[in-house]
Amino acid sequence: MNATLDAALAYAARGLPVFPLNPNSKEPHGLLAPNGFKNATTNPDTIRQWFTEFPHANLAIAIPEGVIVVDIDPRNNGTETWQKLATNRTVNTMTSISGRGDGGFHLWLNQPPDIKLNTKLGPGVDVKAGGKGYIVAPPSIHPDSGLPYTWADEGDTTNPPEWLVDALTKQEPAKTPDRLADLNDQNGNPKIPNRESGTTHIGTELDVRPGDHFTDSTTWEQLLTADGWTPVEQHGTEYRWRRPGKTTGISAVVNHTGTDRLKVLHLERPRPGRQRHLRPVRLLGRHTPQR
């Protein structure tokens, strides 16, 4: 009598593809299943050949398409996670018990349609999707405990209850508004805040981030004055400023070329035969330093 062969044929008759594992192991049989669960089959002749030639091989079921398995692993706090999630509610479905002997188990369920599957429900509770893996099946022997895997419920897979469907549905993060589009006008040119009126075209109907709010409500004049800079002169729409510690010359220009920009200058070291001159080192917009 070969209990593993009998079990394998019974699973295959239910449409569950099977394949052999190494004896007392979770690893695919290197000779019979070199491609792992991709070698799984429901063909009874192949199954008889496998488990007649290697009667002590362990047995695995490749999770079929349309089926998911919720894996509760107590080693990683899976029991606590599941108890909090289920809150004393039961799930009546095909259920296998781990041979580890620590209370771990697998719930076999029909995959809910039209959802993006959440593959982790919390610490120690993973979800395995159909067509992407396998489960060690009874009556295989666990490699660590020497105990057999068993069935708590060998019935059919069922649809998960609504509360579990909610947990199995991966929640997509809320989409962030297209701030780049909001920062440009219909011609693709940058929108410039109106410093005089205190209003701005930027982020008017968006959940504005603190940095954007600071940028839109603060002028270059406020920033420079607070840092000890001194206004020197106005030239058209441009304003020239002098940095702290300097008594002559120009250190920066506000509203450079008529835009809301700050051009910072420094005195370039003269080369032989050339005069000293100011050289722009930064051209900043919206109070954002360039690195």
At residue 251, the pLDDT reads 85
Cα–Cα distance list, 69 to 12, 64, 256 (Å)? 18, 10, 63
Write out pLDDT tens, residues 60-92: 999 999 999 999 999 999 999 999 999 999 999
> Residue 265: its pLDDT value, please?
73
- Residue 288 — pLDDT band, cuts 50, 70, 90? very low
Residue 243 tokens, joined: 């940095």
Q: Which of 6-15, 164-173, 218-227 has the lowest mean pLDDT?
A: 218-227
Give the per-residue pLDDT at 70.
98
Distance CA 107, CA 89 (A): 14
C-alpha 197/C-alpha 201 separation (Å) is 11
| Percent of the chain clearing pLDDT 90 (strictly above) | 57
What pLDDT was estimated at residue 243? Answer: 86
Compute CA distances 105 → 69, 79, 152, whole Å: 10, 10, 9
How far, in Å, are 71, 130, 162, 167, 169 from residue 117 at the CA level? 14, 11, 14, 9, 5
- What's the rounded mean pLDDT across residues 109-133? 95
Rounded CA-CA distance 140/5 in Å is 11
Nearest C-alpha neighbor of 237 from the set 255, 224, 252: 255
pLDDT digit string, tens, across residues 40-67: 999 999 999 999 999 999 999 999 999 9
Q: Is the pLDDT of residue 258 over 80?
A: no
Asked whether the predicted pLDDT for residue 278 surpasses 80, the reply is no
* Per-residue pLDDT tens over the stretch 188-240: 554 544 544 444 444 444 455 656 656 666 777 877 888 888 888 877 777 88
Domain boundaries, the chain: 67-127+151-166, 179-285
Q: Which has more pLDDT, 171 or 185?
A: 171
**33 in Cβ contact with 20 (< 8 Å):** yes
pLDDT(157) > 80:
yes
